Amino acid sequence: MDPFMGMCATTGIAACCLGGLTLHSWLGLVPSAVAAAATGASPSDVAALLPVPARRRIRAARILVIDEISMLDATLLDAIDGLCRFVRSTLTSPMGGLTVLFCGDFVQLAPVAGQGVFKGSFSFRAVVWKALFGKRAVVLATAHRHGGDPSYLGLLRRLRCAELTEADVLALQSRVVDGVAPVDAVSLYATVEEARRHNQHRLGALGKRTITYVAENFGGRLSSDAARVVLDSLTPAPDSLVLCLNAAVLAVSNAYFHRHGVCSGWRGTVVGFQASGGAQGEAEELPMVEFKLPSGVLRRIVVSRTNFMAATVTGDAAGHSSSHSSSYNPVRRQLPLVLGWALTIHKAQGMTLELAYVTLSCVFTFSMVCQLAARDEQT
C-alpha cells in the first residue's frame, strides 16, 4: 500500500474491494477516540487517543480517498477535519492540507445515527465540505453496470429521484414473482440471520457430502477471538465455509479477474473437488467451481485459499509487515467464496449480480431499495 495515499472506504466490504482500509482503521479511531469525538472533544484530546502508527500515517499521507462517502456522518467528517489539521500541524487548511477524493452515491445507504453528536446527517452538510469543494463536484454520468440496458438504467435514475412513471411501475410489477425465488437468483435480505437460514436450507436440501473449510486467522497482536471479530466485520471471507457438490457460490474477491475474467459477485456452481496440499502440509480438497462469464463462456476454476487483510485500529496499514505473527493486522486465509443462494443487501455492496430476488417486506429504508436495485442486471 502506498504510504502517501490513504485508500479508504466507510465499510469493510467496500474497503476490501478497493484493496484498502476502513476509514476508522486508517485514522486509528479506536472506540475511546470515537467516544471522545462523539462528545465534542477537542482535536488534541482525540489525537492523544490515537495509536502512534495511525498518527504517522496521517502525517505522511498526501492523498486521502474515501469511497462510499454517503455513509460518512457530517459531524464525524468535521471531527476528522479537525483531527487531520492538528496531527498534520496545518491548522488553517481543510483536512490538514490533504488532497481528498470522495466517491459515492448519496441516494444509496445513508449514515447510521450513532452516539452523542453523530445524528446520521449526510457528509455534504459538514462545515468542511464547502471549504473542500465549494460547488466543485464531478458527476460520473456513465453507468457501466447497466449500460447495456438503457430502459432499466432510465428506471433506476427515475427511482433515485422518486419520479417513477406509470410505465416504470408496470415494469417493476412485471418482475414480481409469487412464492419461491427463481433457482438461478441470489436472494437479498435485510438481516444476516435471514440470509444464513436461506443458505443453510438450500445447502441441506442438496443432501450431499459436505466439506468444511475453516479459515486460518492470523491475529498479530490481537487475541484469536478479537481477530475473528475484526476479520468477520472487515472482510467478506467467512470464518467457516461449508460446501458440497452442486452448491451455489459467489466470488468475494477479484483474485481470479485478471487471469480468468471472474470478478467479485460472480455466481458459480461447485462441480467437483480436487486434492491439494493444505496450508499446514495436509491434504485438502479444493472446490472446482464453474462460472458463467458475461460472454456466455463457462470457466472452471479450482479455487484455492487467498489472504484477506484487515488493518486494525491499533496497527499499521495492511501489507506493511513481512510476517503474520509480528503484524498488528489480522489476516484471514480462506477460500474467496461464500454460499451463493442468499446475501444481505449490505454484503452485496460493490457486487454485480446477474439475477437477484428481493423480499421487499424486509426492506426498511428507501436507500436500501436504491442500493439493491443497482446491484444486479436483473431483479
Could you write out the DSSP letters of every residue in 108-154?
SSPPPP-STT----BGGGSHHHHHHHTT--------SSSTT-HHHHH
How do 216-218 and 248-251 pair as beta strands?
unpaired
- Whether 279 has a pLDDT exceeding 60, the answer reads no
Please say if the pLDDT value at position 313 is more than 50: no
Long-range contacts of 139-147 (CB under 8 A, 24+ apart): 145/352, 145/374, 145/377, 146/374, 146/377
Q: How many CA atoms lie within 13 A of 323 on its CB side?
A: 3
- SS3 (DSSP) at 26: helix
The mean pLDDT value of the chain amounts to: 80
Contact by Cβ (8 Å): 308, 10:
no
What is the strand order of the sheet 306-309 is part of? 216-218, 331-334, 306-309
Q: Are 119 and 38 in contact (CB under 8 A)?
A: no
Percent of the chain with pLDDT over 70: 79
Q: Say whether pLDDT at 315 is over 70.
A: no
Q: What are phi and psi of 40, to 5 degrees?
A: 80, 25
Give pairs for 125-134: CB < 8 Å, separation 24+: 125/74, 126/74, 126/75, 126/77, 126/78, 126/81, 127/78, 127/81, 128/77, 128/78, 128/81, 128/94, 128/95, 129/74, 129/77, 131/94, 132/94, 132/95, 132/100
Whether residue 60 has pLDDT greater than 80: yes
Q: What is the pLDDT of residue 96?
A: 95
What is the DSSP secondary structure assignment for residue 237, as one 8-state letter? Answer: S
Q: How many CB atoms lie within 10 A of CB 164?
A: 14
Average pLDDT, integer, range 346-373: 67
Closest Cα to residue 378, out of 174, 103, 97, 133? 174
pLDDT recorded at residue 362: 63
Which DSSP category does 88 fall into?
A: T
Question: Side by side, which strands form the sheet with 342-344?
Answer: 342-344, 186-189, 356-358
What phi and psi values does residue 72 have, to the nearest 5 degrees? -95, 125
Average pLDDT over residues 297-315: 76
pLDDT at 59: 94
Q: Which residues contact 312 (CB under 8 A, 6 or more apart)?
A: 25, 220, 222, 230, 328, 329, 330
* Cell, residue 300: 472452471
258 band by pLDDT with thresholds 50, 70 and 90: confident
CB neighbour list of residue 155: distance below 8 Å, 6 or more residues apart: 164, 168, 171, 172
Residues 73/111, Cβ–Cβ less than 8 Å: yes
**Average pLDDT over every residue of 46-55:** 90
- pLDDT on residue 322: 34
> How far apart are the C-alpha atoms of 359 and 40, rounded to whole Å?
40
Provide the b/e sequence for 258-297 (b: ≥16 CB within 10 Å): eeeebbbbbbbbbeebeeeeeeeeeebebbbbebbeeeee
Most confidently modeled range among 98-102, 141-145, 222-226: 98-102
Average pLDDT over residues 271-284: 77
